[in-house]
Structures are given as C-alpha cells and as structure tokens.
Structure 1
Amino acid sequence: MTRKISLHAVALAAALCASSAMAQSSVTIYGIIDTGVVYTTNANANGNSVFKMPSLTGSFPSRIGFKGTEDLGGGLQAMFVLESGFAPDTGAMGQGGRLFGRQSYVGLKNSWGQLMLGRQVNMTYLSQLKTDVMGPNLFAIGSIDAYLPNARSDNAIGYLGNFSGFTVGATYSFGRDASAAGGPAATNCPGEVAGNSKACRQVTALLGYDGKGWGVTSSYDILYGNTGASNGLSSSDNTDQRVTLNGYFMLGDVKIGGGVVDRRTRAAANTNTDSDLYYLGVSYPLSVALVLDAQVSRLDVKNSPNDVTLSVARLTYNLSKRTAVYGSLGYIKNGGTSSVALDAGGTVGAGKNQLGVMTGIRHTF
C-alpha cells in the first residue's frame, strides 16, 4: 500500500512539474493579410498607365509568424521568432523566396536587454519605426530607397536594450544576404569567406531616447560587398553606408515625424554616389476609427540632376481592432533621368512623373 501511495505521489509530482513548465512557456501565432488594387500613370517609356494588384505591400507587407518565450528563472528568458512574408496576390513567398525571410532568430533576454542569433531586422529598420508615419506603405520612402523597409541581416548577432528611456542596439553580420533571387531583399552576398574578414560583412548600430511625447533616434549602417554581389558591390572593398537621424513629437493625438538618411556608396568602377533622403510626415486621427496620414519626402542626389520628390496621403478606416480599409493617393516627381516608381516594386518611364491611387483591405490576426 505504501509503495502504491509513493508511486502515485511521484506521478502527481511529475504531472505538476510538467504543468508548471508548460505554464512558463508560450508560443503565439500572428500575421497580417493586406492587399488591394493600384492605378499608376506613366508606367513605361511610352507613358502608358497600369491597373494592377501589387505584390510587395499594401499598407503593410503580408506575413505569418511564430514567436515564443520560455522562462528560465532569475528573470532570464529564452525567445525565438520565425516570420514569413508572402505575396497575397499570388501566394508566393517573399524576401527572395525564403521560408522565414522576414525574421528567423533565437536568443535570450533579461533586464539587460536581448541577444539574438539568426536573420533579423537591423538597426536601420528599427530607427524609423516611430518616425515614419507611412511605414511600409505601397507609396512611401521605401519606393525611393527599397533597402529601408527591408533592412534585415542574415547570419547576424544582435543586441537591443532599453534603459530609462534610452535605447541602444547593434548587429554584426558574418554574411549579410544569402539570397540571389533578386529584389530589394536579395542581393547575393552570403559572406563567411575564409581568408576575407570583410566579405559581405555588415555592422549596424542605434542610439535613441524617448521622453514624454517625443523621441529621437540615430543609426549607423555599413555593408561590404564581395564577388557576385549586386548593386555594384563586387568587392569586399566596396561599401554602402547609411547614417540616419530621426525624430517625432506628439501634439495631443497628432504625431509629427521626420528624419534624414545620409547614404554614401563606394562601388565598383568608381561609381560612387552621395545622397540625402529627407522625410516629414503627420498622422492625424480624425475620429476613433478614421486616421489620416500624409508625408513628403525628397531625395537629394549630390552633383546630379536625378533628384526625386514624393508626396503621399493615406486615409484608413478601422472597421474593428483587426480589420481596416484604406486608400492612398501619391505623386512622384523624377528629376533628370531618374526612374523611381511611385509604387514599391513598380515601374516608371525615365524622367517621368507619376500619379497613383490605391485602395485595399488589411486584416491582422
């Protein structure tokens, strides 16, 4: 009898331990499905217009993700994120066809911050989250510099910490981009080359401060090339550097945000470029459900007539906490022979201006 009682006690203790362990862990499935239709003028050299369903984004890029934490005791937690982007118009995978192209990392976090290993958004991406009111909208600064909404690093070690209003962070990548499938998130620079400590390396850093109703953030980003890499970075001596300064402040419920991205490219065949991308925007809630966002941005290319000016407005109506409908109106002016399309992933005739209208629906889960 005593033996049976002991066995029951052991079984009960094991069950309680298992229950406790499960209670200390959590996994969440989340995502966004966002798509619509867009009309743009001057979509080619002949000045023809096009009416289509976009692939890259609507108001936000579509994705499905899995994230989880496990309590390790003493305030320490294990964490992971697996996030896959996709094109809702065709169902194709995004980020160069990667299974978890948006994020794929594991790490630890505590009061000192979080340490992450794997593919992750870097500090350039994080530096503009609070200041760019349009975000990754189809008409936005990502149309001018496609890297900004796709600022992620493969093979990266990352750190992010928050201390009394200050945010500090950094990433170091051994090989910044392993995909050769094309597009803004696939530039064929896998790195990790024996005997070449700079090949496809990338370093990003961030320092920010958030006070009551305002904030400012600065970031630094330099990436190195190697043989076969795109965008003219065909040697590890070639670099693409961005330095950002971003800020926002609140006037009641109205947010005003802006910043500048200074970019310097040292590419092959002396194709060096210097440019500054300025942006200023406002987010104005007209009611609890209706929000108006507007932004003006300008690309100033040094010693070149190929400057670009983009103006965009977006009206979003929230049908619920998870579902919204929206419409955007945008206009882009291309100077010289510039051919920056208004819509991310779109086309425009060289030197031609472009007008666009978009409407869509977004659901989060």
Structure 2
Amino acid sequence: MKNSIRGAVALMACVGASAAMAQSSVTVYGLLDTGVVHTTNANAAGDSVTKMPSLTGSFPSRIGFRGAEDLGDGLQLVFTLEAGLTMDSGAMGQGNRLFGRQASVGLKGAFGTVTLGRQINMTYIAGMKSDVMGPNLFAIGSIDPYLPNARSDNAIGYLGNFNNVVIGATYSTGRDVSAAGGPAATGCPGEVAGNAKACRQITGLFGYETPAWGLNTSYDIMYGNVGAAGGLTSSDNSDKRVTVNGYVKVGEGKIGAGVVDRTTRAVTGLSESDLYYLGLSYPVTPLTTLDTQVARRDLKNSNADATMLVARLTYYLSKRTASYVGIGRMKNSGLSAIALDAGGSVGVGKTQNGVMAGLRHSF
C-alpha cells in the first residue's frame, strides 16, 4: 500500500514538472473607438444625417484574448479569440458572433504558422500595410465592404516569412456561417455532402516586405450556395479578387497604393470592376499624424463609377489614447450609390460630403 502511494506521488510530481516546463501566457487586449459623423445627401431627397456609427470609427472596437504555449524545440501553440463590439449600442459585431473577428488555434515554428478556425484571410493581410486609412469610417472599405472584413469561417490557414519573402494561404470548407447580414455575415455555411464546392473559399498571398518598403499580391475566390448573399446563390457562382499592393517609407512618412481587380459571377450576371487607391501617412508633429487617401472604383461596362477623397488627423493624448477628426467626399456618377461612411446611405448618383470626430483607447 505504501509503495503504491509513493508511486502515485512520484507520478504526480513528474506530471507537475512536465507541466511547469511548458511556458504559457495569455494576453487580454482591446480597443474602444467611437465618435459622431455628419454626412450630406443621405437619401434621394438630399437630406443630411448626424449619427454615431456602428461599424467603425478610426478602427473597429474589439476585445480579445491572445495566448501562446512553448512546446519546446522552437514550436509554440498559439490561439486568438477576438470579439467585435458596436460602441453605439453595445451589441456584438460580425453577424452577432461571440468571437466574430477571430477564433483560431494553431502551431507556430520556423516553418511559419498554421491556424484552424475563423480567421483573417490573405486579402486582409495583403492590404493592411499599404492601406494607410485602414478600416476607417471614410476609407476604401466604404467602396468595397469586404476588404476590411476579409475573414473566413471553417478555415485552415498558413503564413510564413522567410528573409522578407511572405507566403500565405487559407482554405475554407464553408466561408460564412452567419446569415445576419452585412459584409461580415453573408450566410454561406457550406460543408454540404455531395457538393464540396459549396461556399468554399481559397485565398493566397505572395510578397516581399521590409520595414522600408514592400510589395505583395493576393488572390481570393469564394463560391456560393443556396441562400447566400450577394447573388451567389449557387456553387457555380463566384466572387474573385486579385490585388497588387505596395508601400514605401519616405522620411517619417509612408506612401501606400494598390489595385483590386474584382470579377463577380452571380445569378444576376457578370460584373467586373477595378478599385485603385493611393494614400499618404505623415507625422506632422510628434503627437499628430495626418492620413489622406484618394480612391476610384471603375465598374466595367457601366457609368456607375465613384471617386473618393478622405483625410484624417489624429492627435495622441497618450500612447494608448487618441482623438481624431476626419473629412471626406464621395462623388457618385450615373447609377452609383456608394456611401462615404461605411454602413451608411446616399442618394443614387449624388455626391456625399462628410465630417467625423471621435476618441480611441487601446488596452
């Protein structure tokens, strides 16, 4: 009996020692960002509107948990759980998902990082260094709402950096399980027996990136199925984006540019467009940064084009807290009806002007 007890104690000690050798850490982080926006020509009558936006301010609000465990020999287990927040009402974002921004677990080593779950895909990663406005309320996400919401459910992802050569890919067996609406919830859960193409999504990235300059290209194709949004109501329907993006540091500033070539084969027919953007970010003082961007969408075989000009001035009250103001103008031609503010509205063919102001805190 005594020998059995000693053996159990020794076994427990060995298990405890092994657990102690595995170093793990969890970080809780977040960002709170909200403000007020005023836009003209918010409807066909030309009326203006003043509101507190839901989708984003200068950045979308979120709270997250990021962790890693050292498994030895340079191998780590990594995970991310990140929830989107709408500051105007306190609701959850990304189609009312608990961790709608990211919910992934994976392994990281010298080979790169492999992740499983809901995750940002290569379209998002390719554009985030060249798009100086980022997911701002007035930005290219107003023209193509998918760009700042490029995430995939049920995805296997890979990302590696080898002497500044960046390679990445995602493969999703069902790209979007939420049907709550909006760019982050398009109702295409996939994983259908007998139809592996239904709601499948593939994205890829190849680039060369340094702190001083970078250039990359990405490929993104998503397929539809019955009930999916955007006219992709069959697995034969698809939405494809090919991007080329670049950035260069000029003194303390940065210039970023890119083009997004999009081809949509929906139930309503074929649609092709190009989105061009060029931006500059410059710290005008140690505590103040000016970001400005011009963008144009060219919709092929149509007069529904749009041109956007936006600017944002951010003043840093501390390392974690900033206030900002922004202005913008969206010129719609023909049948175009693209709102200046993400998630907003505008009368068909009307030019919309807007101003915004807000406060941001990260923790």
2:49 aligned residue: 50
> For each residue in 1:71-127, what CA deviation from the matched residue of structure 2 results, as whole angstroms up to 9, or x when unmatched?
111111111100000101100000000000000011101011000000000000000
Which amino acid counterpart does residue 298 of structure 1 have in structure 2?
Answer: R
Partner Cα separation in structure 2 for residue 18 and residue 59 of structure 1: 45
* Structure 2 residues without counterparts, runs of 5 or longer: none
Partner Cα separation in structure 1 for residue 94 and residue 77 of structure 2: 26
1:168 aligned residue: 167
Partner Cα separation in structure 2 for residue 187 and residue 19 of structure 1: 42
Partner Cα separation in structure 2 for residue 212 and residue 155 of structure 1: 32
Identity of aligned residues (%): 65
Q: Kindly report which structure 2 residues correspond to 1:84-99, keeping only aligned pairs within 5 A, or say none.
A: 84-99=83-98
Q: Quick check: 1:315 aligned with 2:310?
A: no
Partner Cα separation in structure 1 for residue 16 and residue 152 of structure 2: 41
Q: Quick check: 1:345 aligned with 2:349?
A: no
Partner Cα separation in structure 1 for residue 21 and residue 187 of structure 2: 42
Q: Kindly report which structure 2 residues correspond to 1:70-85, keeping only aligned pairs within 5 A, or say none.
A: 70-85=69-84
2:297 aligned residue: 299
> For each residue in 1:6-26, what CA deviation from the matched residue of structure 2 results, as whole angstroms up to 9, or x when unmatched?
99x96996697278346x100
Partner Cα separation in structure 2 for residue 70 and residue 307 of structure 1: 49
SS at match of 2:296: strand
1:272 aligned residue: 270
Cα offset, 1:288, TM superposition: 1.2
1:193 aligned residue: 192
Q: Quick check: 1:177 aligned with 2:176?
A: yes
SS at match of 1:205: strand
SS at match of 2:91: coil
Which amino acid counterpart does residue 274 of structure 1 have in structure 2?
Answer: E
1:115 aligned residue: 114
* Structure 1 residues without counterparts, runs of 5 or longer: none
Inter-CA distance 212–117: structure 2 relative to 1 (3 Å threshold) = closer
Cα offset, 1:252, TM superposition: 1.2
Aligned length: 358
Which amino acid counterpart does residue 194 of structure 1 have in structure 2?
Answer: A
Which amino acid counterpart does residue 339 of structure 2 have in structure 1?
Answer: A
2:207 aligned residue: 208
Partner Cα separation in structure 2 for residue 12 and residue 306 of structure 1: 70
Question: Given the two structures, how large is their TM-score scaled by the length of structure 1?
Answer: 0.95
Which amino acid counterpart does residue 350 of structure 2 have in structure 1?
Answer: K
2:40 aligned residue: 41
SS at match of 2:142: helix
Cα offset, 1:197, TM superposition: 1.5
Cα offset, 1:210, TM superposition: 1.4
Question: Given the two structures, how large is their TM-score scaled by the length of structure 2?
Answer: 0.96
2:362 aligned residue: 364
Inter-CA distance 323–18: structure 2 relative to 1 (3 Å threshold) = farther
Which amino acid counterpart does residue 17 of structure 1 have in structure 2?
Answer: A
Partner Cα separation in structure 2 for residue 217 and residue 146 of structure 1: 21
> For each residue in 1:202-253, what CA deviation from the matched residue of structure 2 results, as whole angstroms up to 9, or x when unmatched?
0000001014511001000000001111111011000100000000101111
1:105 aligned residue: 104
Q: Quick check: 1:17 aligned with 2:17?
A: yes
Cα offset, 1:337, TM superposition: 1.2
> For each residue in 1:325-348, what CA deviation from the matched residue of structure 2 results, as whole angstroms up to 9, or x when unmatched?
000000000010111000000010
> For each residue in 1:338-360, what CA deviation from the matched residue of structure 2 results, as whole angstroms up to 9, or x when unmatched?
11000000010111110000000
Partner Cα separation in structure 1 for residue 12 and residue 62 of structure 2: 42
Partner Cα separation in structure 2 for residue 10 and residue 330 of structure 1: 69
Partner Cα separation in structure 1 for residue 16 and residue 107 of structure 2: 26
